[in-house]
Amino acid sequence: MAGPAPGRRLRLRPLAALALLLALAPGLPAARAGQAPRPAERGPPVRLFTEEELARYGGEEEDQPIYMAVKGVVFDVTSGKEFYGRGAPYNALTGKDSTRGVAKMSLDPADLTHDTVSQTGLTAEELQSLDDVFTTVYKAKYPIVGYTARRILNEDGSPNLDFKPEDQPHFDIKDEF
Ligand code: HEM
């Protein structure tokens, strides 16, 4: 009586194959019953952008989406093509983190940087303006597609434990690496 009868084993095989298929098939709810769903099943995955990656989305290509970051949050500003597309007035802000420029309402190339500290720090007024534009323009109008690597990682590459994702309740740092 060691093991099931041969006939029974044969009948189980297709079932086992089905179970395996279900377990491997992404997006089938039954496949992951009892497990926390992964972000991909709850909406588009959130991306981590290096400077080089973000630079590919500066609106040069007609059919590419246009991205820009403010405070390390990468927004898809494609729907604002009249502001951000090629030849449009704010195109210079795209394909990079333009936090300083947005805070100062400046398109000076020296201000088109994430760095709000090393030239001169921002005034209280500029910081307030940055937060206002961040909330009332970017977060209100444009989908968040990810974060800059700089926002999530420390200089030494370790995860920044202070990172709090905006409007990304599903963001799980474990899933992004
Ligand atoms: C002569 C100077 C400027 C004028 C007359 C001007 C005018 C405008 C106008 C009319 C809008 C559109 C508002 C709307 O339709 O919702 C706008 C939006 C905006 N402006 Fe300016 N602007 C000027 C300079 C600047 C500069 C130097 C910056 C530098 C960062 C800037 C950043 C923005 C941003 C980020 C938006 C929001 C765009 C969006 O909705 O995505 N503006 N501006």
Q: pLDDT tens across 64-110, in order? A: 999 999 999 999 999 999 999 999 999 999 999 999 999 999 999 99
* Predicted local distance difference test score (pLDDT) of residue 163: 85
Q: pLDDT tens across 98-134, in order? A: 999 999 999 999 999 999 988 888 999 999 999 999 9
Q: Give the pLDDT band of residue 25 (cuts 50, 70, 90).
A: very low
Contact 107, 174 (CB under 8 A): no
- Name the one residue in this structure whose structure tokens are 């088109």: 112
* Predicted local distance difference test score (pLDDT) of residue 119: 83
Q: Give the pLDDT band of residue 175 (cuts 50, 70, 90).
A: low
Ligand 1 neighbourhood includes 83 CB (under 6 angstroms): yes
* Predicted local distance difference test score (pLDDT) of residue 80: 98
Ligand 1 neighbourhood includes 107 CB (under 6 angstroms): yes
Judged by DSSP in three states, 145 sits in strand
Distance 86 CA to ligand 1 centre (A): 16
* Predicted local distance difference test score (pLDDT) of residue 86: 95
Which tokens belong to 139? 């977060």
Ligand 1 neighbourhood includes 129 CB (under 6 angstroms): no
In sequence order, what are the beta bridge partners of 48?
Answer: 147
